[in-house]
Structure 1
Amino acid sequence: MTPQVLQRFARLDERLEAVLALLHTGTHADIGSDHAKLPLRLIQTGRARRCIVVELNPGPLALARRNVARAGLDNQIDVRSGNGFSPLHPAEADSASITGMGAGTIAGILRRAEEGVLPPTLVLQPNDNPAPIRVWARESGYHLTDERLIDGYWPYPVLRLLRHPGPDLAYQDLPLAAALRYGPHLLREAGPLLAARIQADVLRLTPLAAPGRTAQLELDAAQDALKVIEP
């Protein structure tokens, strides 16, 4: 691999660097990979032995193949055309990532995956409120083992899920609606980025709230979250 190619793929943006930091795996699948920069970095840093890139759209698919070829990593990164997890075989991947999509879209991709295809470790970076992903995880036997909030154009959440039996103790002793909306680990950390987001939600939702409205439920969750981070 030439120094120019290494330099070209040496850096990711902060949200993808956060995803990278939560992975150390054998075979990793990046779903909706777009440019394949995350799989390239996983191989280059030794955080994965093999990667599968899945992309549905022809333009990004061609870009991913071109980037992998330029990096000389065709023997370690397999680029496949397809939708969600459909190009994967059961138990083929040890981990998977989905980044840069809405949380509802990500949850839908996970729900549509055929039995046995989802790997035990998932790292997900939605572009909006991750509550649908947290709900899916609790229903589907995945525990939330780590989550981070990355400052950017807006705060980007990054979640690490691990398949595990039994209830997820991350939610223990927390108001459930607040934990699903803002994240149990993030609430316990009570970082300034999360605090600013919760306070902004309270200001935005207060004039909209009324009994029976969705805004009231969201405001209740935000106020409960404030009680956790500002006891």
Structure 2
Amino acid sequence: MELSKRLYTIAQQVPQGAIVADIGTDHGYVPIYLYQKKIIKKAIATDINRGPLKRAEKNIKAHNAEQIIATRLGNGLEPIQPNEVDTLILAGMGGMLIIDILNNRLNLVKGVNRIILQPQLDQKEVRQYLHKIYFKIINEEIVYEDNKYYWIIVAEPGEEEYDDIKYYLFGKKLLESKSSILMRYIKEKLIQLRNILEKLNETSTDNTLKRINEIEQEIRLHEEALKCL
């Protein structure tokens, strides 16, 4: 099974011998890859829609993985029983949706050893939520693929809190590792923000003045993060 760069990076975060739930599995590529590489003991691939789950079932069967990978139809973590898995994967969905899914089954979530998240949006809120529910972030990766940036956040039970907002915005682990991909992302974002600021400065209504202050603050935070890299 050949994975995209994004999915491969997600799969690399799964510990040896894990029992995995892949929530929103789509084609089932990640659990199939983990089965082929003999990384997992078992996996449950879930999806809220029957169509993607049928595709996953077809792919699982084609790779003779039915004994290891089960499929279940359902919303979020509803198809998973408490203590049934030790690793959760939630990838390719919005950050606020990820938070909702985790929060709806918090007792189940607190019983796992590792959570692997790939939020498309609202990464800051996801990091803050993980700390709120007493999960510490042990690793972060950022991947650039098909002209898009993807954040992968890996957390395990433990108490942690960041003392600087930029760590929640950009990822403390990424800043500490001096990620070249994060550097490129921040530089591109700064160009966008400065262009917006230039256009806003051409007008002077109350609304635009408020927005100018917000953009200037964003620019300062991005510049501060860039200095760490």
* TM-score computed with the length of structure 2 as normaliser: 0.86
Q: Deviations over 1:38-78 (max 9, x none)?
A: 00111111111100011111110111111112222211111
Structure 1 or 2, whichever has the larger Rg, is 2
CA distance in structure 2 between the aligned counterparts of 1:101 and 1:214, rounded to whole angstroms: 27
Tell me how far apart the structure 1 counterparts of residues 179 and 108 of structure 2 sit (CA, whole Å). 37
Name the CA distance, whole Å, in 1 between partners of 2:109 and 2:70: 17
User: Which residue is 1:162 aligned to?
Assistant: 156
* Letter aligned with residue 47 of structure 2: E
- Which residue does 1:41 correspond to in 2? 33
1:129 Cα deviation from its structure 2 partner: 4.7
Structure 1 position 127 matched with structure 2 position 127: no
The answer to whether 1:151 aligns with 2:144 is: yes
Question: Following TM superposition, by how much is the alpha carbon of 1:29 offset from its aligned partner in structure 2, in angstroms?
Answer: 0.3
Q: 2:217 and 2:82 mapped to 1: Cα distance?
A: 39
Is 2:165 aligned against 1:177? yes
Alpha-carbon displacement from aligned partner over 1:149-204 (angstroms, at most 9, x marks no partner): 1121212111111111x324xx35xxx22111111011112222211211222222
SS in 2 for 1:49: strand
Alignment of 1:36-75 (within 5 A): 36-75=28-67
8 A contact 1:55–1:83 mirrored in 2: yes
Letter in 2 for 1:135: Q
- Kindly report the root-mean-square deviation, in angstroms, between the aligned alpha carbons of the 2 structures: 1.9
Contact 2:118 2:150 in 1 (8 A): yes
Q: 2:175 aligns with which of 169, 187, 194?
A: 187
Structure-1 residue corresponding to 2:186: 198
- C-alpha distance in 1 between matches for 2:195 and 2:70: 51
**Any idea what SS the aligned residue of 2:79 has?**
coil
* Aligned with 1:104 (options 96, 112, 122): 96
Q: Is the 8 A contact 2:19 2:40 kept in 1?
A: yes
Q: Structure 2 counterpart of 1:159, which letter? A: I
Question: TM-score normalised to the size of structure 1?
Answer: 0.85
Q: How does 1:133-144 map to 2 (within 5 A)?
A: 133-144=126-137
How far, CA to CA, are the matches of 2:100 and 2:14 in structure 1?
A: 22
- d(CA) in 2 for partners of 1:202 and 1:63? 41
Check conservation: 1:86, 1:114, Cα contact below 8 A: no
Give me the identity figure in percent: 24
Which segments of 5 or more consecutive residues in structure 1 lack a partner in the other structure?
1-9
Aligned residue-pair number? 214
Q: Whole-Å Cα distance in 2 between the matches of residues 36 and 223 of structure 1?
A: 40
**Amino acid paired to 1:220:** R
Deviation at 1:124, TM superposition (A): 1.1
Match of 2:220 in 1: 220
Q: List structure 1 segments (4+ residues) > 6 angstroms apart after TM superposition.
A: none
User: 2:26, 2:55 within 8 Å by CA — same for their partners in 1?
Assistant: yes
Q: Is the 8 A contact 1:89 1:117 kept in 2?
A: no
Structure 1 CA distance, aligned partners of 2:131 and 2:219? 23
Q: Verify: 1:79 aligned to 2:64, yes or no.
A: no
Distance 2:35 2:214 in 1: 44
Listed as ranges, the gaps of 5+ residues in structure 2 are 198-208
Q: Which residue of 1 aligns with 2:205?
A: none
